[in-house]
Structure 1
Amino acid sequence: MLTGGGSRILAGVGVVGAVGFLLAMDTGRPEVRLMTKAVPMLCLLLWQWPPRERYARWVFAGLGLSLLGDVLLDLGPEFFLPGLGAFLLAHVSYTAAYLTVTRGLQWVRALPFLLLAVSASVFLWPGLGDMALPVSVYVAVICTMTWRAAAMLGTPGLSRLEQRAAFAGALLFAVSDGLLAIRLFVQPVPGAGYAIMLLYWAAQLSIAVSARGPRAHPASAGHSLA
């Protein structure tokens, strides 16, 4: 993996790409939007390369699928469903990464995200139309991903910083997607696009940070049902 100067160069390129996309988001040419939108995720993928352990490989897959989703969603409304599918698979990949750390059910920690999934689906349902089923499935998957990030807190296998980074990334992703869903299916929110993208990039960076360190091999975390 890149360190030091290489990481700083990638960070600089990623920030330039992000700023370029934000400047072009509402009024820029479609090809400029597409290219600049891809830059931050490409930089994260390069920063993660090569992913040497199971956790890092699943996170890398999630980053790659997110990049695909970014591209598909910016190609036009007809690509919304494939883009949604790419992001759904990205959340499945992140969930698989978190399950390599612990498979403990942590039912108490699951409850808030179960309530979130149900309430979000009910809130969005009137405006979903033909998208009701795929969006509801997506909501369930992202809430599951966030639950599994919460389940890792306090377990062996990741450092405390990495656990917090993964959980923060999951929460930021949920907030970003929640704002996007409100904008698409409830009512337009002025300026929401900027908040959505900033939260999204912060989420992906946080999740990527959680995969940068060497993994321990917990002996019992996978068997706890606490």
Structure 2
Amino acid sequence: MTASVAKSSVALPLLTLVSATVAILALSQPAQLPPGLGFVFKPLTTVLILLYAWQRGADQPALARWLRAGLLCSLAGDVALLWPEQGFLPGLVSFLVAHVCYIVGFCTQRRFGAVRWPFLMFGVIAAVVLGRLWVNVPAALQAPVVVYVVCLATMAAQAWAWWRGGVGLPDEAQARWAAWGGTLFVFSDAMLAINKFAGPLEMASVWVLASYWPAQWCIASSLRRSRA
């Protein structure tokens, strides 16, 4: 049993890395690779991260339930964004719900706003990025984009509040994973927004996806490993 668990703990990260690499190459170099590969390996990578999350958190049912729900919503968003124009708004809504799930999950571990300075920090970051892009955001998308940005910044801030509010406590390592996951998510979405509203950004798929999947992996890693 121990050997089987050890093999699984190595195989799943390796499979996820391979799947993510194929997806990034297919989506960033469509002229050199079959375009259908991106449509297969992009959702597959998130499915593998979801499987990783499903193997964890047995002793944290509330947190596990909300983080898995967030990953499922993210999977829906990944599929929608395979069509960047038609799928942008459905993808935005899917990821908005995902961030709400993550916020609620993080709040099961630490009171909302337990540490306030991360909210100021991510609020400033969000305001700066949104301010620079605002003139290029179509009027029909301005309201949903603002709601999304506020929710994304809140998710990252609450992850940091969990971490910095629990320094020295048993769950500090888990909270650190969540905090870096939230930070990478902010970076990934900032790159996506720059590419869409102020771009085109060179190697946009690489910037966005090479930070997006590590963000999701970090968030999933905030669940404790289940004991076999």
Shorter-chain TM-score tier? 0.7 to 0.9
- Does residue 165 (structure 1) correspond to residue 172 (structure 2)? The answer is no
Deviations 1:123-155 (A, max 9, x none): 221000121111111111000001101111244
Alignment-derived partner of residue 178 in structure 1: 190
Deviations 1:3-57 (A, max 9, x none): 4212322222212211211221131444321111112211111122265411111
Partner Cα separation in structure 1 for residue 194 and residue 142 of structure 2: 14
Alignment-derived partner of residue 198 in structure 1: 210
Partner Cα separation in structure 2 for residue 146 and residue 48 of structure 1: 19
Q: Which moves more between the two structures, 193-202 or 118-127?
A: 118-127
Q: Is the 8 A contact 2:24 2:210 kept in 1?
A: no
Q: Is the 8 A contact 2:187 2:211 kept in 1?
A: yes
Post-superposition offset of 1:112: 1.3
Partner Cα separation in structure 2 for residue 151 and residue 117 of structure 1: 17
Partner Cα separation in structure 1 for residue 130 and residue 164 of structure 2: 30
- Does residue 142 (structure 1) correspond to residue 152 (structure 2)? The answer is yes
CA gap 1:107/1:11 in 2 versus in 1, 3 angstroms: closer
- Does residue 153 (structure 1) correspond to residue 163 (structure 2)? The answer is yes
Post-superposition offset of 1:109: 2.8
Deviations 1:194-221 (A, max 9, x none): 021110011011111111347xxxxxxx
Partner Cα separation in structure 1 for residue 74 and residue 170 of structure 2: 23
User: Percent of counterpart pairs with the same letter?
Assistant: 33
Q: Is the 8 A contact 1:172 1:199 kept in 2?
A: yes
Alignment-derived partner of residue 224 in structure 1: none
Aligned-residue CA RMSD (Å): 1.9
Alignment-derived partner of residue 68 in structure 1: 76
Structure 1: segments with no counterpart, 5+ residues: 215-226
CA gap 1:12/1:56 in 2 versus in 1, 3 angstroms: same
Post-superposition offset of 1:158: 5.7
CA gap 1:168/1:124 in 2 versus in 1, 3 angstroms: same
Q: Is the 8 A contact 1:179 1:192 kept in 2?
A: yes
TM score, norm. by length of structure 1? 0.87
Post-superposition offset of 1:76: 4.6
Q: Which residues in structure 2 correspond to 1:1-226 (within 5 Å)?
A: 3-25=5-27, 26-27=29-30, 28-49=33-54, 52=58, 53-105=61-113, 106-129=115-138, 130-156=140-166, 159-213=171-225
TM score, norm. by length of structure 2? 0.86
Q: Is the 8 A contact 2:69 2:98 kept in 1?
A: yes
Partner Cα separation in structure 1 for residue 161 and residue 170 of structure 2: 12
Partner Cα separation in structure 1 for residue 84 and residue 110 of structure 2: 39
Aligned pairs, number? 213
